[in-house]
Amino acid sequence: MHVCVFRQDILPNRKARPKNFPRLGLSCGIVLAMTALAGVYSANCADGKYYSATNLWQAEVGHYNQSSPAMDSNGVIYVTSWLGKLHAINSDGSTRWVIKFGGESVSTPAIGADGTIYFGSRDKYIRAVSSDAEEKWAFKTGAWVDASPAIGVDGTIYCGSWDKNFYALNPDGAKKWEFATGGSVVSSAAIDQAGVIYFGSHDRKFYALNPDGTKRWEFSTAGEVTSSPAIGSEGELYFTSVDGKLHALNPDGTSRWQLHTGSITPSSPVLGPDGTIYLSVNQTHCAVGRDGRFKWKRAFWHAQTNYFGEAAAAVLANETVVFTGGDGFVMTVPTDNGEKEWLWNYWLDGPSYSSPLVSSDGTIYVMGISRQLRALKRSVPLSATPWPMFRANPQRTGRVNRMP
């Protein structure tokens, strides 16, 4: 007989729990234990496959952050903040350094092969900072830069701006080319194995550009495209639009299918090993099959009015998926989901719009809009898929992972 243990340290702080949060006291603990004995959760524990997450450490990074953490090849974590700072944090949670720049940022850092950190901010700049905290250059655009940069194999940095342009910059910060769209660009670009760059715009179009900046094709939607696309094993493309649809395109820009989700949020899709697409839709976490049909939906652990799921998920090697949401919870569910609602969750003291980062040792780094970046102890790494989490890899380069 196997009994799952739901540890107190994965439950929300009693003082910080949201209104009407269920009190997991003795009676609830007995119910959970009885449920486990009945076999609903025991299967999850029998092979040691699933277990609770514990908080290894937390680092102060300021309130209201909406970017996502990135990690370099040495295990250093980088976070941009709403307070206009770039934080470098060691793998033990200690601060390596902090630099201040000119405006708040919601742009997730991308890390180049030489360790350079690239990010955008609302003072209209795309910046490059060395791993020892020296600003290498700052390229000024005409408006906010909320998108996250993508980095090509040759080191070219690609990023859009609210000024309606999409930019390609050389590693030294010089402009290589720019491409004008009909709307603001907050969609973070994705790069396929051939170097083709994909992104969406507020002009209700999804674009494919050649590495030289010429347009390969465009695809029209009925709403603004704000999500970052995911690239599949056959070069297929997945993205959401505020037209309420999840779109799947072939590499030539023709539509494979469209699924009406009703979503009004910019949650970016990620992909499982069998091609299943995972994303958040308003106040639910969802799985969609390669045929464009819902496989399952799971409501937030604690839904709150006007708090939605805007972050991307992360698919793990043990066939589980990590979600964050506007309810402030990190939640893990199995990919097949069966009759099981969730496997563990962790309260972040406030809503989360930040996509989780999973390191090679399985540690999960995540933040809500509260002050802390948290490291949750797990031992399951990312799944080996072309696009298992936001921006495809821990360095957040936005380049599709090469598959065997």
Q: What is the tens place of the pLDDT at every residue in 148-181?
A: 999 999 999 999 999 999 999 999 999 999 999 9
Does residue 342 register a pLDDT over 90? Answer: no
CA angle 366, 393, 400 (to 5 degrees): 145
d(CA 258, CA 10): 38
Tokens of 169: 């910059």
**Residue 376: which pLDDT band, with cuts at 50, 70 and 90?**
very high
Poorest-pLDDT segment among 15-19, 101-105, 309-313: 15-19
pLDDT recorded at residue 300: 84
Neighbouring C-beta atoms of residue 178, cutoff 10 Å: 15
d(CA 316, CA 21): 28
Using DSSP, state whether 202 is helix, strand or coil.
Answer: coil
- Rounded alpha-carbon distances, angstroms, from residue 13 to 21, 40, 347: 11, 26, 8
Mean of pLDDT values over 33-43: 29
Q: Which amino acid is at 45?
A: C
pLDDT recorded at residue 337: 66
pLDDT recorded at residue 345: 86
Does residue 227 register a pLDDT over 90? Answer: yes
Residue of 240 and 39 predicted with greater confidence: 240
**Residue 34: which pLDDT band, with cuts at 50, 70 and 90?**
very low
Does residue 252 register a pLDDT over 60? Answer: yes
Poorest-pLDDT segment among 317-321, 338-342, 347-351, 392-396: 338-342
pLDDT recorded at residue 308: 85
- Residues 291, 49, 389, 107, Cα dihedral to 10°: 140
Tokens of 262: 């009703």
pLDDT recorded at residue 338: 58
d(CA 375, CA 312): 18
Q: Name the residue ranges covered by the structural domains of the chain.
A: 1-9+21-48, 55-377
Poorest-pLDDT segment among 244-248, 295-299, 316-320, 336-340: 336-340
pLDDT recorded at residue 183: 98
Q: Which residues of 358-381 are buried (b: 16+ CB within 10 A; e: fewer)?
A: bbeebbbbbbbbbbbbbbbebebb
Tokens of 333: 């569910």
pLDDT recorded at residue 11: 36
Domain 55-377: give its CATH superfamily.
YVTN repeat-like/Quinoprotein amine dehydrogenase (2.130.10.10)
Average pLDDT score, the chain: 87
**Residue 225: which pLDDT band, with cuts at 50, 70 and 90?**
very high
In terms of Cα–Cα distance, which of 6, 9, 11 is closest to 302? 11
d(CA 366, CA 213): 34
pLDDT recorded at residue 303: 63
**Residue 327: which pLDDT band, with cuts at 50, 70 and 90?**
confident
pLDDT recorded at residue 102: 86
Segment 61-112, tens digit of pLDDT: 998 999 999 999 999 999 999 999 999 999 999 999 999 998 999 999 999 9
